[in-house]
């Protein structure tokens, strides 16, 4: 009997005896050896260079992963089969197929990219690799004949490592590009094949039946920046790539500027997101090799260290914003079991992973906490804190020390270790980019520069599909490095600096330039109030361009009003809609709970609304604010400018922005800010 499937125009013939997924049931439980049930302590996943310095744990890890790689590729828990969950081969794993009502998307694996399940799906995926690796390590530890207790303890506390590619000094660890490593085995110190360097496919003839006949599909091992003449990796490129395209500012900005879980999760919407820098690492480290395209990425052993770091970033973010989680949203990308347009929520099955009973699927709700899987991170010592606020402050301080140690990305109000303490609010400038996924049918990037300064990459891993040809990828990039020689509060100076110097280039993963490819760019600024100390983030007001867009979404009638305002007043329009973040939160009321709170709040007297109507509503309140903004427009007119080639809608100076603070009253601003901070609604 033969099973036939079609992949990208080529057929795959699989003998029924090759893999019996229909009867296989894998219980994903996590790893709980080394856990202290009394204190809640869980062994941490360690940074790879830290783990490499621990002789016993590193020796066990290397041997365990090598054992996985040598397991018959037909075995459900082999390295090959676990890697194949992510993309190729396009076959079911553990008997999990699309339902009859939902046929999924063709030519994809189970992995979720470009939608809100990006982070939560990869959490059990990393856990399944960790669980199998830990089982191998336990078996290996028992073969040591000397110092048995120490080896057993090392195995009990062993978890999968991560590579923090964003923390300065940014570099590609030597242990990831060494073809061999020296470890201590049960028979002594030996030099062995380094499982972090490459994965060698065991059964190439069979793999050729599972993979397409393209360059990557016909290689005997995974490659990074492949030299197609010699079929070898060019390791020098990895060093240059991480140095030339650092992701530090992008990661810090997600922590400090994004407080909504859905926005943090996916680059299919605007703003700062962990998926963005994650995709850039895939492209700049893979360089057109296996690590770049999702179909092959999980076969490169670096994948598990890379996504271990993404999971760590999300766990840190969750500790800072514990009350925000995944909310229902349509997806613009499909998988083996998800169709474009499906509504995804915290109860959507994270296929193909099943819980301990072998039947119940893992969901985002079930996988919300990392303690569910028995591991921790050095940056999230949650068992030490009973107060969520204290944990959030601790993790925030860790984020600031790792990714904003000099305060250059966001100021602190107090002087810390020689930093100059800013006297008042300042401005933060950023560039937003949008590109259609349909530009290429392979991974690519949009490289953004201001003069000679690289400000970031907008990276796309997934091409548009026949189900959704209009899918796009979004990103936002902070401009402090490009504006370090300019007074950022001087709008004229910033415009002069940026005008004509902002450029972009579309490139493939291997660095080849794509001529004629288009992207959309826009620049905006935010007022920044310095943080009190390292345990807090600065307060960033919403960008002036986005504030009125939020109002437009709230009431379609504002579209007509906006056109009237813009006509003849394009240069100063956005100057009339600049307010602090806390008041925008009150105005817009993103959730139902916030809307209810807002309707209650605006029924009370306040500096902005001293005589509220009993029938006051969000829309009426918005009208009142709009009138006040129109009055403020006249004051701000001379301080805003239009930059036509990039659709600039620039802000006015800080002195005028303070007008809104005075309008609300400092007491009222503090009250609202405190309630939002405490998670009490409005």
User: How far apart are the C-alpha atoms of 225 and 241, rounded to whole Å?
Assistant: 11
Q: Which residues pair with 47 in a beta bridge?
A: 162
**CA-CA distance, 639 to 490, in Å (whole number)?**
9
Position 628 scores a pLDDT of: 53
Distances 587 to 67, 549, 558, 628 between C-alpha atoms, Å: 57, 13, 15, 14
- What tens digit of pLDDT does each residue of 214-245 get? 899 999 999 999 999 999 998 887 777 887 78
DSSP 372: G
**Does the structure show a pLDDT above 90 at 311?**
yes
Question: What's the rounded mean pLDDT across residues 115-132?
Answer: 97
Least confident residue range of 38-52, 240-254, 619-633 = 619-633
Whole-number pLDDT of residue 413: 58
φ, ψ of residue 505 to 5 degrees: the values are -135, 135
pLDDT exceeds cutoff 50 at 469: yes
Measured in residues, the chain has a length of 682
Q: Which residues have C-beta within 8 Å of that of residue 643, sequence separation ≥ 6? A: 495, 498, 499, 523, 650
Lowest mean pLDDT among 16-20, 119-123, 301-305: 16-20
Listed range (72-81, 202-211, 347-356, 471-480) with the worst mean pLDDT: 202-211
Tokens coding 362: 């893992």
Q: Could you tell me the pLDDT band of residue 677, with boundaries at 50, 70 and 90?
A: low
Chain-centre distance for alpha carbon 501: 28
pLDDT confidence tier of residue 70, bands split at 50, 70 and 90: very high
Residue pair 234/291 in contact by the 8 Å Cβ criterion: no
Q: How far apart are CA 113 and CA 266, in angstroms?
A: 8
Residue 574 is encoded by which pair of tokens? 């956005």
Query: Higher model confidence: residue 602 or residue 244?
Result: 244
Lowest mean pLDDT, pick from 15-19, 301-305, 334-338, 549-553: 15-19
Contact 310, 160 (CB under 8 A): no
* pLDDT over 70, % of the chain: 71
CA dist., res. 251 & res. 309, Å (int): 11
Say if residue 165's pLDDT is above 80: yes
Higher pLDDT, 521 or 543: 521
For 27-36, what is the mean pLDDT?
97
Exposure string (b/e) for 227-252, b if CB count within 10 Å is 16 or more? Answer: eeeeeebebebbeebbeebbbbbbbb
Helix 248-257 vs helix 388-403: angle between axes, to the nearest 10 degrees?
A: 150
Residue 499 has pLDDT above 50, yes or no: yes
Number of Cα atoms under 13 Å in the Cβ half of residue 415: 5
The neighbouring-strand residues paired with 506 are 446
Which residues fall within 8 angstroms of residue 638, CB to CB, at 6 or more apart? 572
- Give the residue, 660 or 49, on which the prediction is more confident: 49
DSSP assignments along 58-115, one per residue: HHHHHHHHHHHHHS-TTSTTSHHHHHHTTSSS-S-BTTB---SS----SS--S---SS
Q: What is the mean pLDDT of the chain?
A: 79
CATH superfamily of 48-403: Di-copper center containing domain from catechol oxidase (1.10.1280.10)
Identify how many contiguous H helices and E strands the chain contains and give both numbers: 21, 17
Q: 3-state DSSP call for residue 625?
A: helix
Q: Which tops the pLDDT comparison, 19 or 461?
A: 461
Phi-psi region for residue 650, left (φ > 0), alpha (ψ -120 to 50) or beta?
A: beta
Picking from 622, 593, 592, 596, the residue whose alpha carbon sits closest to that of residue 609 is 622
In the chain, where the domains are located = 48-403, 554-601+618-678
pLDDT at 203: 79
The alpha-helical segments, DSSP class H, found in 499-617 are 544-554, 557-566, 581-588, 592-601
Residue 427 is predicted with a pLDDT of: 85
Task: Tell me how far apart the alpha carbons of residues 85 and 48 are, in angstroms, rounded to a whole number.
Answer: 24
110 is written with which tokens? Answer: 């189970």
* Residue 209 main-chain phi, psi, to 5 deg: -80, -30
* Res 190 pLDDT > 60: yes
Report d(CA 278, CA 520) in Å as an integer. 21
Average the pLDDT over 628-639 and give the result. Answer: 42
Average pLDDT over residues 7-13: 33
Backbone angles phi, psi at 446, to 5 degrees: -110, 110
């Amino acid at each position: 009997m033969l099973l036939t499937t079609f992949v990208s125009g080529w057929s795959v013939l699989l003998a029924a005896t090759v893999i019996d997924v229909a009867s296989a049931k894998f219980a994903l439980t996590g790893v709980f050896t080394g856990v202290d049930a009394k204190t809640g302590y869980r062994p941490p996943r360690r940074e790879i260079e830290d783990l490499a310095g621990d002789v016993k744990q590193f020796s066990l890890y290397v041997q365990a992963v090598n054992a996985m790689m040598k397991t018959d590729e037909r075995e459900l828990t082999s390295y090959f089969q676990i890697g194949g969950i992510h993309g190729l081969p396009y076959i079911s794993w553990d008997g999990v197929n699309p339902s009859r009502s939902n046929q999924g998307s063709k030519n994809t694996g189970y992995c979720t990219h470009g939608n809100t399940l990006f982070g939560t799906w990869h959490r059990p995926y990393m856990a399944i690799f960790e669980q199998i690796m830990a089982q191998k390590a336990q078996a290996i530890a028992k073969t040591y004949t000397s110092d048995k207790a120490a080896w057993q303890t090392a195995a009990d506390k062993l978890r999968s490592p991560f590579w923090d590619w964003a923390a300065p000094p940014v570099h590609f660890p030597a242990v990831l590009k060494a073809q061999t490593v020296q470890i201590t085995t049960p028979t002594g110190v030996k030099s062995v094949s380094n499982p972090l360097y490459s994965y060698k496919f065991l059964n190439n003839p069979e793999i050729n039946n599972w993979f397409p006949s393209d360059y990557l599909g016909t290689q005997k091992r995974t490659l990074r920046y492949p030299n197609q003449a010699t079929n070898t990796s060019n390791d020098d490129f990895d060093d240059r790539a991480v140095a030339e395209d650092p992701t530090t500012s992008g990661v810090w900005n997600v922590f400090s500027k994004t407080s909504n879980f859905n926005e943090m999760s996916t680059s299919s919407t605007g703003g700062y997101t962990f998926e963005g820098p994650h995709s850039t690492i895939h492209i700049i480290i893979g360089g057109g090799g296996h690590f770049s395209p999702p179909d092959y990425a999980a076969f490169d052993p670096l994948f598990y260290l890379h996504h271990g770091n993404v999971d760590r970033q999300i766990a840190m973010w969750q500790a800072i914003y514990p009350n925000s989680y995944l909310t229902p949203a349509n997806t613009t990308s499909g998988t083996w079991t998800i169709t474009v347009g499906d509504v995804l929520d915290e109860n959507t099955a994270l296929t193909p992973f099943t819980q301990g009973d072998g039947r119940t699927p893992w969901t985002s709700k079930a996988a919300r906490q990392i303690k569910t899987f028995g591991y921790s991170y050095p940056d999230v010592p949650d068992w030490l804190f009973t107060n969520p606020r204290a944990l959030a402050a601790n993790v925030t301080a860790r984020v600031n020390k790792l990714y904003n140690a000099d305060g250059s990305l966001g100021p602190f109000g107090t002087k810390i270790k020689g930093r100059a303490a800013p006297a008042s609010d300042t401005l933060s400038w950023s560039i937003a980019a949008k590109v259609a996924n349909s530009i290429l049918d392979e991974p690519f990037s949009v490289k953004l520069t201001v003069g000679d300064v690289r400000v970031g990459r907008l990276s796309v891993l997934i091409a548009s599909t026949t189900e959704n040809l209009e899918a796009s990828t979004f990103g936002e990039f902070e401009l402090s490095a490009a504006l370090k020689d300019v007074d950022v509060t001087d709008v004229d100076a910033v415009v002069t600096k940026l005008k004509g110097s902002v450029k972009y280039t579309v490139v493939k993963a291997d660095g080849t330039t794509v001529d004629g490819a288009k992207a959309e760019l826009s620049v905006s600024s935010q007022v920044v109030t310095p943080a009190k100390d390292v345990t807090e983030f600065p307060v960033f007001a919403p960008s002036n361009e986005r504030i009125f867009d939020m109002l437009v979404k709230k009431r379609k009638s504002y579209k007509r009003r906006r056109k009237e305002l813009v006509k003849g007043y394009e240069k100063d329009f956005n100057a009339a809609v600049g307010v602090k973040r806390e008041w925008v939160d009150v105005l817009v009321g993103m959730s139902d709970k916030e809307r209810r709170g807002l309707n209650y709040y605006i029924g009370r007297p306040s500096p902005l609304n001293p005589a509220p109507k009993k029938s006051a509503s969000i829309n009426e309140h918005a009208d009142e604010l709009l009138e006040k903004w129109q009055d403020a427009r006249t004051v701000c007119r001379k301080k805003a400018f239009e930059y036509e080639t990039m659709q600039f809608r620039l802000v006015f100076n800080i002195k005028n922005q303070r007008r809104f603070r005075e309008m609300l009253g400092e007491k009222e601003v503090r009250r609202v800010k405190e309630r939002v901070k405490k998670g009490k609604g409005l």
